[in-house]
Amino acid sequence: METVTIRLNPALDLAPFARAYAERGIVQIPQLFEERTAGAIADLLQRGVPWRIVFTTPDDKPVHYSREELQAQGQERWKATIADVTARARQNRGYFYKTYPMIEAYLKGWDPGHPIHQLTEFINSADFLGLGRTVTGVTEITKADAHATFYGPGDFLTRHLDTGDDHERRAAYVLGLTRGWQPDWGGLLLFLNEKQDVSEGYLPRFNALTIFDVKFLHTVTQVSSFAGAGRFSITGWFRDDPGKR
């Protein structure tokens, strides 16, 4: 990654976004970073991350494989896994895409010296957590999860809620990091109403941070076979863990 200081765009005025969130529980903040910073982060995700395949098991538990672990599966076993993931997706269960679990990697010492760890530190900095508190109005936010994600053709995330096992997630966020994404390419963040109609949808716009209340049912549509780029983003949750309330 180009050497940059990761900081919020100093021109950001969070007040109108806080008002919008208070009214609707969903908001998209454009130009989160200055252009050079956003470009450096995007280049890092597109060129320098050791991605892992993430999906759910038959009992709906998440699992991720590194490239080496994936190769160790063998072709036939992997085909069976894909068939199982696809069958459960028809039942609106599960997901399949590439990820780098930033918090886990940081805490376990994966990839020492990798520049993505600078981004992990920023996500839990006073500035970013302060943004979360200001926009959501939840002053009890204590930390943030973070996952780098890469959706290629065929990747998807079926509809779900983001409440968390202990209801510790107070709001979800998605930071788009692909330039020029088109709606026909899929990969759209869609919100569903009680009838399961689409009530609202967002492009994964470059350098835009979408924040939403975890009470909203949502999905990421499958990326199309003809998508002109990968869908890169940072996703996670602003949290208020029970032990720190």
What's the CATH number where 225 sits? 2.60.120.620
Enclosing domain of residue 153: 15-48+107-244
Tokens at 187, concatenated: 């990969």
Say how many domains are in the chain: 1
Residue 5 lies in a domain: no
Residue 84 lies in a domain: no
Q: Which of 100, 118, 109 is nearest to 51 (CA)?
A: 100
Q: Which pLDDT score, from 0 to 100, does residue 155 have?
A: 98
Residue 209 lies in a domain: yes
C-alpha dist (Å) from residue 205 to 3, 110, 200, 236: 23, 29, 15, 16
Spans of the chain below 70 pLDDT: 1-2, 164-167, 242-245
Q: Which pLDDT score, from 0 to 100, does residue 166 have?
A: 62
Residue 123 lies in a domain: yes
Residue 59 lies in a domain: no
Q: Could you tell me where the beta strands, DSSP code E, fall in 76-197?
A: 95-101, 143-144, 147-151, 156-160, 169-176, 189-192
- What's the predicted TM-score (pTM) here? 0.94
Residue 235 lies in a domain: yes
Q: Count Cβ atoms within 10 A of the Cβ of residue 245 and give its class: 0-12 exposed, 13-18 middle, 19 or more buried.
A: exposed
Residue 126 lies in a domain: yes
Tokens at 231, concatenated: 């869908």
Q: Which pLDDT score, from 0 to 100, does residue 245 have?
A: 42
Residue 116 lies in a domain: yes
